[in-house]
Structure 1
Amino acid sequence: MSNTEKKCRFAAAKGKWIRFGLWTLVFIFFVIWTGSLWWLLPIPFAFDLFISRFIPWSFWKNSKNKTFRLIMDWVDAIVFALVAVYFVFLFFFQNYQIPSPSLEKSLLVGDYLFVSKLSYGPRMPNTPLSFPLAQHTLPIVNSKSYFDKPQWPYKRLKGLGNIQRKDIVVFNFPAGDTVALAMQNPDYYSICYSIASKRGLSMQEAARIVRSNPNTFGEIVYRPVDRRENYVKRCIGLPGDSLQIINNQVYIDGKLLEDEPGTQYNYFVQTKGSYFSETQFRKWNISKDDRYLLPDQNDLSELLGFEPDAQGNKLPVYHFPATKEVIEKIKKSP
């Protein structure tokens, strides 16, 4: 390559130098924000993209094959979109769908939220090698959407503010570290606790029962922090608070925290013999997505201590969230 050609490579228009300078400032900002020098690595590539052009970034556009150009245009657009979405979701904001009715008086099941990651500070990923837009399981193939290695330590970047009491927040469910794949609702620890309390066992003994019944509970798997289920809840406890739960009532620093209007709890409900009708569920405002009927062949009802009728037949057992007022109505139903 002649000296003239080399000079031409670096004789980029003023606008390209400005764009390169802006991107360099962005990468330097991320170095300061994240405390990682890895963000300096893209700067040489940005220099080549805007200035030197040694790398043929759009090589397919010169191809005489129209089909190849069309395919590569789509690949280029899809890869760019996935990378852009990944970084936007990671550092700035992310959309979530309300999965449960626990905040139903404020937010409805199925509502979409755009959650600011900057408010409290974005969290760096624990499992960086993952498929974008999938939390922990790939659809259709039903396999993990992430690689177990490498795993980075937990780190949260500085945000614009701090969590306040009664804020509605999105977080990864802490008890979602261990999951019974065949029965993910209620969670693994709730299942063990229910079995232990109903049968007078220790949590370790109840856990052995769950793990020894794969036909009922499925495989027991572990999930890293960033791959656990996303939950949307209202914050009631802050750092330094003393929190107690006594008879299902929350106390903050020894003072009873008043329930929000329409507060719901999760219940296992055994009927008197008949199944609840759709009319009853509509009257109680319990949707199909929120309720779960334990199958007749499922051993969980027996493990929880529910007894059969006088003829030895298992009675229907449901699991669903409800307010205390609704539970009182259910108790009075025939």
Structure 2
Amino acid sequence: MSEVKTRAEAKPAKAKKSAIREWFDSVLFAVVAATLIRWLFMEAFTIPTPSMENSLMVGDFLFVSKLHYGTRTPRTPLQVPLTHQKIWGTDIPSYSTAIQLPSYRLPGFTHVKNGDVVVFNVPPRYLNDNIDYPVDLKTNYIKRCIGIPGDILEVRQREVIVNGKPFSKPPRAEQKYFIKTAEVLDANFFRKYDIVNDYRDPSQSTENWKPLEQYNDSTKASAMVGYMVNTTEDVIAKFKTFDWVKEVEPMAEKPGEVDPRVYGAPTFKWNHDNFGPITVPKKGATIQLNEQTIALYGQVIQLYEGNEKVEVSPTAVKIGGQPVTSYTFKQDYYFMMGDNRDNSLDSRFWGFVPEDHIVGKAVFVWMSLDPNPANIWNKIRWNRLFRTID
């Protein structure tokens, strides 16, 4: 009797994957999916410094949208997935520059606007460990966009003026004040108002708060002490209602007081409280080159415009060995400032952010951990979870 087998019966059974192979396939799928999501849609960041307080706090974890402004195509394709500059926990570079591709931006559904909180690759070399990282691997910063291409921007006694109109201050923005009191205050008092000295000098006392000034006043029965704090206008208004707070003084630099660290020095005599006016470069805009414009835009022409063999002196610019008397910008630029304006290393110090350095828009905080909690039960800042960023 002959035996007839169907095609399905004749097909040999498929070998079952080993547990190790299944584990490897699962991990590979997860890494590929996470890499695509991180590149195309959303990326997670954490806040390490107080430059955006009180809008964003040290220890906030947030999501940044790549879709708002459009995703950049990778410039450095040879990179360990889900890393930035180094392999986790080591000083080993996570990338190779053997291949560098031209970078393009996919269409987004909006553009960077005044007031947006933006993550970007900070341009200057000295803020990137003095390493010439590719643009997409430079250190990530987060600031608020104060000036967009073509804006004329100025800071007058702390107030930001854009195109001749006051720029509205973020509701939780902080500035520096000196408070004179008749009582000694401790870290627990300041913590109630979200005033925390998270960045002590290791060589100093381990106490969070010490009097910065202590003096005798012959007109008073007892000595007073002083504290320098960065906080919001609402908190200062509350402090002024306390009868033991004797004086609150804004700590602002005066016009004409020169800060050599500020962008444009030494040609311009500016400081971080009195800065500008300055025009934010716009793609297609042409400037005449002279001592003043070279001080403001010389490094832009040299470092961020893709020009070759650029020579910049205080009075002249050469491109490809040829002197130029005018220049037309090839891309847009932005001016960024921290909401904690007296404790922020931002565009007032290092200049403009090129459009190709923009990473994405910060959209919401999903977790917040206090780096110096009063106790373990207060480690999570519950009131900041899932807070939108405005």
State the TM-score, normalizing by the size of structure 2: 0.42
Q: Which of structures 1 and 2 has the larger relative contact order (alpha carbons within 8 angstroms, sep 6+)?
A: 2
**Greater percentage in strand:** 2
State the TM-score, normalizing by the size of structure 1: 0.49
**Greater percentage in helix:** 1
